[in-house]
Amino acid sequence: MTFGPVGIRCPDHASTGGRVAAPRRTARKAAASLSRRGPYVTQALIGINVGIYVVQLAMGAGLSASMGWIYEHGVLISSAIDSSGQLVGVAEGEWWRLLTAAFLHYGPIHLGLNMLVLWFIGPALEEYLGHGRYALLYVVSGLAGSAGALIVSSGAPTVGASGAIFGIMGAALFLEWRKIYVFGGQALGLVVFNLAISFVIPGISIGGHIGGLIGGGLAALAFLYLRRMPAVATLAVAAVGALSVALALSQA
Nearest-angstrom CA–CA distance, 236 and 222: 6
User: 201-219 burial by CB neighbour count: b if 16+ within 10 A, else e?
Assistant: eeebbbbbbbbbbbbbbbb
176, 187 in Cβ contact below 8 A?
Answer: yes
Q: Give the integer Cα–Cα distance in Å for 21 and 35.
A: 17
244 part of the active site: no
Catalytic residue among 162, 198, 205, 244: 162
3-class DSSP state of 200:
helix
* Alpha carbon distance 48, 53 (integer Å): 9
Instruction: State the Cα–Cα distance between residues 162 and 115, nearest whole angstrom.
Output: 10
Q: Which of 105, 110, 131, 209 is catalytic?
A: 209
Return the half-sphere exposure (C-beta side, CA atoms, 13 A cut-off) of residue 162.
33
Q: Is 110 a catalytic residue?
A: no
For residue 215, give the nearest of 120, 119, 151, 123 by alpha carbon: 151
Q: To 10 degrees, the CA torsion angle through 49, 106, 4, 154?
A: -100
Strand, coil or helix: 78: coil
Q: Which residues are catalytic?
A: 162, 209
